[in-house]
Amino acid sequence: MAEFQATPEDLLAGASVTYDVIIPAALMHRDASDRPPAADLVVQLRPVTIGAFQLIMKAAQQDAGLIPLLLIKEALVQPALSLGQVKQLPLGLVNFLIAHIREISGLTEKKSD
């Protein structure tokens, strides 16, 4: 297999990639009749860069509960939400989005011995 030297562009290219993520209808808010939406919805996410992650960690020093909210605010491309709107998301949807953001950003759980 041939090897090629990586360029800065090669290494930075992943930061601009976006991913379409399907949100299952079951996670979406139900209407007054308690019926789920008829179709799944799609959002667009981008990986969180190290620079953005450092800013998020610095901003959340006093309140670690801000970390998932700021991660969603940073990673959610379409639809773009304000921090106030992110704070209003249902917890199940927040957990779903955070799991996908962690995956596309290459953030893995630390393994304990």
Whether 94 maps to a domain, the answer reads yes
What average pLDDT does this structure show over 98-109?
88
Instruction: Please name which of 39, 46, 40, 38 lies closest in space to residue 20, comparing C-alpha atoms.
Output: 46
Its domain, for residue 81, covers 48-106
Instruction: Please name which of 36, 68, 42, 38 lies closest in space to residue 53, comparing C-alpha atoms.
Output: 68
Whether 13 maps to a domain, the answer reads no
Whether 6 maps to a domain, the answer reads no
Structure tokens at 40: 């799944």
Q: Other CB atoms closer than 10 Å to residue 98's CB: what's the count?
A: 17
Listed range (4-13, 26-35, 42-51, 100-109) with the worst mean pLDDT: 26-35
**What integer pLDDT is reported at residue 11 of this predicted model?**
75
Mean pLDDT score of the chain = 85
**What integer pLDDT is reported at residue 110 of this predicted model?**
59
Whether 59 maps to a domain, the answer reads yes
Whether 81 maps to a domain, the answer reads yes
The answer to whether 23 and 76 are in contact (CB under 8 A) is no
Whether 101 maps to a domain, the answer reads yes
Whether 92 maps to a domain, the answer reads yes
The answer to whether 45 and 19 are in contact (CB under 8 A) is yes
Domains held by the chain: number:
1
pTM: 0.79
